[in-house]
Chains A and B, each alone.
Chain A
Amino acid sequence: MSGGGGAMPPYAQMLGLVREGRRLSMPFGPHLIGSPGRLHGGSVAGLMEIAANLAVREAVRDAGDDADAMLKPVNVTVDYLREGAMEDTHAEAFIMRVGRRVANVRVEAWQGDRGRLIAAARLNLLIVRDSAEPQPPPAARSR
């Protein structure tokens, strides 16, 4: 999420995320539980946000520009399709578009059966490129 990739940031480590090829996986752990016997929706959302981040970061890098580009989340919409059971969860991100400034991403999350999604998300990420066009002035209210 930050820097050049490699080690996961603390929040992703807390969730226990591991990369498995194109997938990002979240092995089950009790700390992920929301109501009894179910994953907390927020832990699944966290998994999907980070999957989207990693996918966009790689797409920007593969395009050969701005390996150091910063990604900032603009928004995320999560649809919860099924209860998350106390099992390993996996996520895969699909990039709809990567532009100069914005990436539009879709993410799917599932457990045992790849075809049985437990959640789906859409995210818009801002791509902040140091080298490219001049940046707008810093936000007026950066307290």
Chain B
Amino acid sequence: MTNAEGADEKRVLDDAGRMQRFVDRFMSAVPHLQALGIGYVASGSNWAELQMPYAPQLVAYPDSGVIASGAIFSLMDSAAGFSVFVTMGRFEPHATLDLRCDYLRPATPGETVFGRAECYKMTRRVAFVRGIAHDGDPEHPIANVAGTFMLTGSA
């Protein structure tokens, strides 16, 4: 995320119309994202940001209204996977190899959670990702993630 905004545009993704198609295809292919209400926010050459508006089905602690850490994990897994897609510039099959999520604090009930991830290193077979979740202030994150994806489609 360090060089996110300044990063150079590239390949197919600099055309807004094609980007939107890319995103629509990505999101509509993922029923679990729809179940959680996860949607697209923005992306760059090697990063992606998704959002998960507060919703009743996300709640893990009914007394406080705090949402489940598992929902945040899903959001970050998806944002990380999406950052791999945009870094490749195409929909290449890939699979999460591992993902670690540190839960820094509970998400504030009622707030939309944003998940932002970057693919900071890509090799022929493995993509390395990191990211944060926040609920309005990126300087005050909810979660920090690091993980790897296998690029299963590469020959």
Contacts and interface: CB of A to CB of B under 8 A. Distances in A.
Interface of A: 1-3, 9-15, 30-36, 39-43, 45-47, 49-50, 72-80, 83, 139, 141, 143
Interface on chain B toward A: helix, strand, loop, or mixed SS?
mixed
A40 B62 contact: no
B103 to A, nearest CB: 5
Contacts of B30: 33-35, 40
Contacts of A36: 29
Contact of A143 (B64, B71, B108): B108
26 contacts: A1-B60, A2-B64, A3-B63, A9-B60, A10-B56, A10-B60, A14-B35, A31-B31, A31-B32, A34-B32, A40-B74, A41-B77, A41-B99, A42-B70, A42-B74, A45-B74, A47-B70, A49-B69, A50-B68, A72-B103, A75-B101, A76-B101, A78-B96, A79-B98, A83-B95, A141-B140
Contact of B103 (A34, A45, A74, A141): A74
Interface residues of B, number: 41
Contacts of A47: 70
Contacts of A15: 70
A25 B30 CA distance: 22
Interface in B56-115: 56-64, 67-71, 73-75, 77-78, 93, 95-103, 105-106, 108
Given A49-B68, A139-B105, 7 more contacts: A9-B59, A11-B59, A14-B35, A33-B31, A46-B70, A50-B70, A80-B95
